Amino acid sequence: LLFAMGLGTTITFASSHWLLAWMGLEINTLAILPLMCQSHHPRAVEATIKYFLTQATAAAMLLFASITNAWITGQWNLEFMSYSLPTTLVTVALALKIGLAPLHAWMPEVLQGLDLTTGLILSTWQKLAPFCLLLQINPSNTSLLLILGLASTLVGGWGGLNQNQLRKILAYSSIAHLGWMILVLQFFPSLTLLTLLMYFVMTFSLFISFKVNNSTTINSLSMSWSKTPIISSMVPFILLSLGGLPPLSGFLPKWLILQELTKQSLAPLATLAALSALLSLYFYLRISYAMTLTMSPNTLLNALPWRLPSNQHTLPLAITT
Amino acid sequence: MSLPKISRVPASRLLSAVHDPRWPLRSAAPLAVPKRALTQSGYRRPGQPREDKPPWQRIKFDFSKGLEGITKHFKLLRQEFSDRLVGPEGKPIIEHMLEQNRVIWEFRGPDSLQEWTLSSDREIGGQSEIHLKLGKNNETCFLYGTLQSAPPRDGETRYSGYCSMRSKQPLVSFDRKKHHDWSSFNTLHLRIRGDGRPWMVNIAAESYFTHQKDDLYSYFLYTRGGPYWQDVKIPFSKFFLTHRGRIQDNQHPLWLDKVNTIGFTLGDKADGPFQLEIDFIGVCKDYAHTEDFAYEVYKRNPEV
């Protein structure tokens, strides 16, 4: 199954023909579905079905757009999409695939229904293939991407504010970060890649630290100071880095994106995006407050951790820019 | 019932229908069709009086009530917005983090009884009764009634005799469903005074598929019967999955982040009066309880 997922992403990466790219995306979706269903809980099945439906819709839209493009221009090559309608449709389809606002509604529910490892795979690996397609097409509709990006950052910030389920918070943070990535896609694609990479590293370490604590709510996180004090001290750094605070490495992509946006004379957009980053920072701070800055009076544990996977991904985060 | 009458009418007129097929049918049709249309439009809860008015006469338009409804919903919406500014579920995060016990249902006034729905055997034609009132000094709720396990005479029900009380689905503004989020707790705490009968506690969680709408997670509640109050603590890991009363083979633990309703059912086959007094229903966090789920999740004898 994992091999199939790797295969799917690789096919999409290596493809220059639309059909092959679509096939890669489909293989990706289908391969992850049994992984999501593994726990046999009806909530997991619900998450799987929701994920499947959204991804299938997106793939169908993608296929439709590529066929339209082939109909109009007569060629299937990925890089040469020149008409606005197929390009727009492809962008919207890929936005649905990765969970950008306003097509984000499935993300929190789906992540909530899954266990932490599968959720990790969903929010990191599954974003690679659609991004590679997004990078290769030439967007003719610049404002669409900007609107998607800005809406995602705002929604990601506001939506995550009142959650106490960690997986939903991570879903909203994923939406916000993807918004940042999309904002700069048409101006400086390598910044998108940089943001993606940073986001991967940070989310990976977050998921792993939550898995070690075996916690899915903020409350159960508050016990972690007695279980693994090292993780409790590192997680605020990770979270603040996700929020984009200066000395941590998460600030780097945000800063460069803002710089790029101002160079393109989109200063109000940059301001709005920065303000919405503040919103998401609030709930990152809240998690770190619950986890590290308060010592809960009760020392009995919810569940004892039984495995300690390698946490070396936390190291890059402590490195300053 | 009008239904058997309709089925009987063509049979008696069948002989005359042989000679003149159109006329009897035409005269039978206006008699049969309106009655059938009226009783088959929507669900009528058994025990409620039947209304034989056509739909256009059943409209009750009241402007002031409509306005009241709209203002109520907008107030709830505004409350929701301001709650969101405070923190999750309207409480600041520090309170949410430190919460270890929460009383969900308390019976301190007549409004608290509005949150509960009673149902009994009577709906399918049996003779059990159930009533709910406030106990002494408006401090508790008093559930009482009579259980009769005589099955209704409809030819298909074999066993009968049940009474139950179920909480109503909590609603937010504009009648949207709200779920109880009990993910920071792991035990159900009840303070009850029963009469020695065994009750069942049923918790209904939010389900996505239609075939799961009757999924309930149940556990037993054995009451003592004495004049003394009984504190019952049931961990949520002990609740097993049932569907329409039948215990399922594939069990899974109850997820506490979307709980809809809780209910109490009496179904022991002892006819006679019963009573149950509930002081409060709350949830608490038992730190010493580390069990995830009390029952096997995997198949004991898997097919190879």
Find out whether A160 and A168 touch, Cβ atoms under 8 Å. Answer: yes
Nearest to B215 by CA among B246, B178, B176: B246
Query: Has residue B9 got a pLDDT over 70?
Result: no
| Whether residue A134 is found in the same domain as residue A206 | no
Structure tokens at A211: 């898995």
Mutate to test the interface with B, among A41, A166, A293 (most CBs of B within 10 A): A41
Higher pLDDT, A213 or B220: B220
Query: Has residue B26 got a pLDDT over 80?
Result: no
Q: What is the pLDDT of residue A314?
A: 53
Greatest mean pLDDT range, A17-21, A176-180, B15-19, B81-85: A176-180
Contact A164 B297 (CB under 8 A): no
Closest residue in chain A to residue B91, using alpha carbons only: A162
End-to-end CA gap in chain B:
54
Position A152 in a domain = no
| Whether residue A134 is found in the same domain as residue A196 | no
Secondary structure letter of residue B175 according to DSSP: G
| Whether residue A121 is found in the same domain as residue A231 | no
Position A84 in a domain = yes
| Whether residue A201 is found in the same domain as residue A124 | no
| Whether residue A125 is found in the same domain as residue A196 | no
Average pLDDT (B15-29) is 45
**What is the residue type of A123?**
S
Greatest mean pLDDT range, A139-148, A178-187, B87-96: A178-187
Contact B287 A300 (CB under 8 A): yes
According to CATH, the topology of domain B100-284 is Jelly Rolls (2.60.120)
A150-183: pLDDT as tens digits: 888 888 888 888 788 888 888 888 898 888 888 8
Contacts of B137 (CB under 8 A, 6+ apart): none
Q: Which residue has the tokens 């179920």?
A: B166
A83 CB-contact burial (10 Å; exposed 0-12 / middle 13-18 / buried 19+) = middle
Position A273 in a domain = yes
Q: What is the pLDDT of residue B29?
A: 41
Contact B88 A163 (CB under 8 A): yes
Domain final position from A124, A140, A156: A140
Q: How confident is the model at residue B45 (pLDDT cuts 50, 70, 90)?
A: low
Per the structure, the complete domain to which residue A238 belongs is given by: 192-320
Average pLDDT (A187-209) is 85
Q: How confident is the model at residue B193 (pLDDT cuts 50, 70, 90)?
A: very high
Q: What is the pLDDT of residue B138?
A: 86
* Distance between CA atoms of residues B30 and B287, nearest Å: 69
| Whether residue A12 is found in the same domain as residue A118 | yes
Query: Has residue A74 got a pLDDT over 90?
Result: no
Query: Has residue B230 got a pLDDT over 90?
Result: yes
Distances (CA, A) of B159 to B123, B134, B149: 14, 31, 7
Find out whether B205 and B254 touch, Cβ atoms under 8 Å. Answer: yes
Number of domains chain A contains: 2
Average pLDDT (A223-248) is 77
Query: Has residue A318 got a pLDDT over 60?
Result: no
Nearest to A132 by CA among A68, A181, A177: A181
Domain final position from A99, A120, A140: A140
pTM: 0.81
Query: Has residue A3 got a pLDDT over 60?
Result: yes
Structure tokens at A126: 């599954």
Query: Has residue A298 got a pLDDT over 60?
Result: no
Residue A303 CB: number of other CB atoms within 10 A?
A: 14
**What is the residue type of B276?**
L
Contact A165 B212 (CB under 8 A): no
Domain final position from A114, A140, A166: A140
Backbone angles phi, psi at B89, to 5 degrees: 60, 30
User: Counting every residue, how long is chain A?
Assistant: 321
Residues of chain B found within 8 Å of residue A218, distances taken between Cβ atoms: 93, 96-97
* Distance between CA atoms of residues B114 and B116, nearest Å: 5
Structure tokens at B32: 């049969």
* Distance between CA atoms of residues B36 and B30, nearest Å: 10
Whether the CA torsion A186, A98, A288, A227 is positive or negative: it is: negative
